[in-house]
């Protein structure tokens, strides 16, 4: 049976959801060992077991939360050499990308990014990867003995394993070297946000250049309130400084799959749609009836969003009393 190693990242001491998604997928491929590094690692082992991890390797060395990716990369490289897994799964997060690049440099293992489906055929790894802004899907493999495969959040569902056994928990007998402790984290700044996160929201409302001015994003926030929705944006408006990068949806931003996605003043460039086309229902509002966004929409509204949004918000408030 294939041995699958999953890097389970922590955020404020809690295992990130993408790690549970990776473990859920990994258990369909083989025997799952999760690696958890940082303060609180031990407390997260049982949760990973519920999703199918059979073994959880932990270390609560302060180096993982005090320094940037180097201690984590050094430790993961050590574990790969010791365990010799068939596959290493890493979440496509900021830290995950940093660690994967460094491990690849240490081991020459190769990195496959933005993985879609993952399987073994005849013992050989097969990964589907979107190319050219997801206009083409290609099959990729790796000659490496332990290829690193990065997966964006929400690519797979996080599903608990019925009847899952309690995982075996082992402490990692490796201490990061002083050489890896060079880039220290001086401050962590939490960006204030209201309402649900983009990744978790049931409804997402995103705005593009069709809103004409940064101040008009307030119309999206007003509509989001009665819908309990999250507000996103295209890269164009993020690059223009209208809103923060954390709100960007698309190829170089976040991938979302809500039940309802409302695209306001968004033309539908493929760099944006690859991050939202997995939404269950897509509604588009645009003045240009030829806008590409309508090709991926379930409901299209041709009109001025600056007039439609206030009217829609008012109607929702009336209906909700």
Q: State the CB neighbour count (10 A cutoff) for residue 221.
A: 15
- What pLDDT does 207 receive? 97
- What pLDDT does 134 receive? 67
Give residue-wise pLDDT tens across range 166-201. 999 999 999 999 999 999 999 888 777 677 888 889
Which of helix, strand or coil describes residue 247? helix
Give residue-wise pLDDT tens across range 20-56. 999 999 999 999 999 999 999 999 999 999 999 999 9
- What pLDDT does 199 receive? 82
Q: State the CB neighbour count (10 A cutoff) for residue 15.
A: 23
pLDDT of 146 higher than 90: no
- What pLDDT does 171 receive? 97
Sequence ranges of the binding site? 209, 234-235, 248-252, 265-272, 286
Q: State the CB neighbour count (10 A cutoff) for residue 31.
A: 17
Letter string b/e over residues 260-291, b meaning 16 or more CB atoms within 10 A of that residue's CB:
bbbbbbbbbbebbbbbbbebeebbbbbeeeeb
Q: Which residue reads 């041995």 in tokens?
A: 3
Give residue-wise pLDDT tens across range 265-290. 999 998 899 889 889 999 999 999 99
Instruction: Give me the chain's average pLDDT, please.
Output: 93
DSSP calls for 101-151: HHHHHHH---EE-S---EEEETTEEEEEEEETTTTEEEEE---SSS-EEEE
Lowest mean pLDDT among 75-79, 163-167, 188-192: 188-192
**At what angle are helices 70-83 and 94-107 packed, to 10 degrees?**
50
pLDDT of 142 higher than 80: yes
Q: Are 209 and 263 in contact (CB under 8 A)?
A: no
- What pLDDT does 261 receive? 97
Q: Are strands 136-140 and 124-131 parallel, antiparallel or unpaired?
A: antiparallel
Sequence ranges of the binding site for FAD? 209, 234-235, 248-252, 265-272, 286
Which of helix, strand or coil describes residue 263? strand
- What pLDDT does 131 receive? 78
Highest mean pLDDT among 16-30, 117-131, 240-254: 16-30
Q: What is the mean pLDDT of residues 210-238?
A: 95
Q: Percent of the chain at pLDDT above 90?
A: 78
Q: Which H or E element spans position 95?
A: helix 94-107
Q: Residue 223: pLDDT band by 50, 70, 90 thresholds?
A: very high
């Amino acid at each position: 049976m294939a041995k699958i190693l999953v890097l389970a990242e922590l955020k404020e001491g809690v295992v990130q959801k993408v790690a549970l998604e990776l473990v859920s997928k990994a258990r369909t491929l083989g025997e799952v060992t999760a690696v958890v590094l940082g303060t609180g690692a031990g407390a997260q082992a049982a949760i990973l077991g519920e999703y199918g991890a059979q073994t959880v390797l932990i270390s609560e060395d302060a180096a993982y939360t005090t320094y940037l990716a180097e201690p984590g990369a050094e430790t993961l490289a050590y574990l790969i050499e010791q365990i010799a897994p068939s596959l290493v799964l890493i979440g496509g997060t900021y830290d995950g990308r940093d660690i994967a690049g460094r491990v690849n440099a240490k081991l020459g293992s190769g990195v496959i990014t933005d993985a879609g489906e993952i399987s073994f055929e005849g013992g050989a790894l097969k990964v589907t990867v979107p190319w050219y802004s997801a206009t083409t899907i290609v099959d990729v493999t790796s000659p490496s003995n332990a290829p690193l495969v990065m997966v964006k959040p929400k690519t797979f569902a996080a599903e608990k394993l019925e009847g899952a056994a309690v995982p075996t928990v082992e402490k990692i007998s490796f201490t990061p070297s002083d050489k890896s402790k060079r880039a220290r984290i001086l401050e962590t700044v939490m960006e204030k946000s209201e309402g649900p996160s983009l990744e978790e929201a049931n409804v997402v409302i995103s705005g593009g250049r069709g809103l004409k001015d940064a101040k008009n994003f307030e119309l999206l926030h007003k509509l989001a309130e009665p819908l309990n929705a999250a507000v996103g944006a295209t890269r164009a408006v993020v690059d223009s400084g209208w809103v923060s990068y954390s709100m960007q949806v698309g190829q170089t931003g976040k991938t979302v799959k809500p039940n309802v996605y409302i695209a306001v003043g968004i033309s539908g460039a493929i760099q944006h749609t690859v991050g939202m086309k997995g939404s269950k229902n897509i509604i588009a509002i645009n003045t240009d009836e030829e806008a590409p966004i309508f090709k991926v929409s379930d409901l299209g509204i041709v009109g001025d969003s600056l007039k439609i949004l206030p009217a829609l918000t008012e109607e929702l408030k009336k209906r909700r009393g």
